[in-house]
Amino acid sequence: MSDVVHPDDKVNPLRVMMDLQRSPETQRQEVPGRGLEPRMALLRAWQSERLKHTYADFLADEHSTPACQFFLSDVYAPQDFSQRDHDLEKLHGLLSHLVPAPMLSLLADAIELNQLSNNLDIRLLEALVDELGMVGEITPALYASGYRVCDNYTERVRQIDLMTRILREVGKGAGQPLVTITLKAARLPAQRFGWQDLHDFLVRGHAAFRRLGLKNELASTIQQRETRILDRIFAGESEPF
């Protein structure tokens, strides 16, 4: 690819878009939709409801409501996100020589979080069904028991750390004019090459996090609350939430 932007240079959004459009790899690849297995859909629906309860105060605050709703509808919803996850990984490869290292690092963290969360959910569901006999209902006590059966405290801490680090970085970037300019410049190329769904996802996230501002407490609160819940689970409490 010619005339690429060096990762240490200031990003020129229009130049990045031109370089991407010249690449033969820019065309989006379709991933066959698999849908969620019913028991996985049940697990993720339960997790989503738990998050609504844990962060009810932030959902009720007008500044943080959009960001919380974005998570519940676009990140932790009981839906099959395999196409979007594939698109994020492809985008990371396409941008690897076009944008600064901090941007790539944020995208890499998001990919790692997706993969880690998916793997943790698969293992948790196996524990709930195969080892604890879950049939059609999840209770807080059963869910906590599933965590203890999995015995992956370190991976859960990593999940929390990734989430809060991403939140902090996205919060910082959402208020920068360069991010807004880049998203606007990407709209037509995204439509042309079939990336409209991913572009819409990024636009929704950007709009939601701009409302938080730089002084938001959501990231630190998530780290504190999720770590406290995790510690309560592994301490053997049946009602850790």
pLDDT in tens, 204-214: 888 888 777 65
User: Of all residues in the chain, what percent carry a pLDDT higher than 70?
Assistant: 80
pLDDT in tens, 131-180: 999 988 999 999 999 999 999 999 999 999 999 988 888 877 776 777 77
CB 31 within 8 A of CB 89: no
Q: Which residue has the higher pLDDT, 102 or 196?
A: 196
- Domain borders along the chain are 34-234
Question: Of the candidates 237, 104, 225, which has an alpha carbon nearest to the alpha carbon of residue 163?
Answer: 225
Exposed/middle/buried for residue 211 (C-beta within 10 Å: 0-12, 13-18, 19+): middle
Q: Which residue has the higher pLDDT, 142 or 11?
A: 142
Distance of CA 94 to the CA centre of its chain: 19
- What is the rounded CA–CA span in Å between residue 106 and residue 45? 27
With a cut of 50, say whether residue 108 has pLDDT above it: yes
Residue 102 structure tokens: 């901090």
- What is the rounded CA–CA span in Å between residue 198 and residue 82? 12
Mean pLDDT over 19-43 rounds to 72
Question: Of the candidates 203, 179, 188, 197, which has an alpha carbon nearest to the alpha carbon of residue 18?
Answer: 188
pLDDT of residue 78: 87
Distances 3 to 25, 63, 101 between C-alpha atoms, Å: 16, 41, 18
Mean pLDDT over 59-71 rounds to 89
Rg (CA), the chain: 19
Confidence of residue 187 (pLDDT cuts 50, 70, 90): confident
Residue 27 structure tokens: 């065309």
pLDDT of residue 20: 56
CB 5 within 8 A of CB 12: yes
Distances 74 to 84, 123, 149, 164 between C-alpha atoms, Å: 10, 22, 29, 17
pLDDT of residue 117: 93
- What is the rounded CA–CA span in Å between residue 78 and residue 72? 9
DSSP states of 44-96: HHHHHHHHHHHTHHHHTSTTTHHHHHHIIIIISSSS--HHHHHHHHHHHHHHT
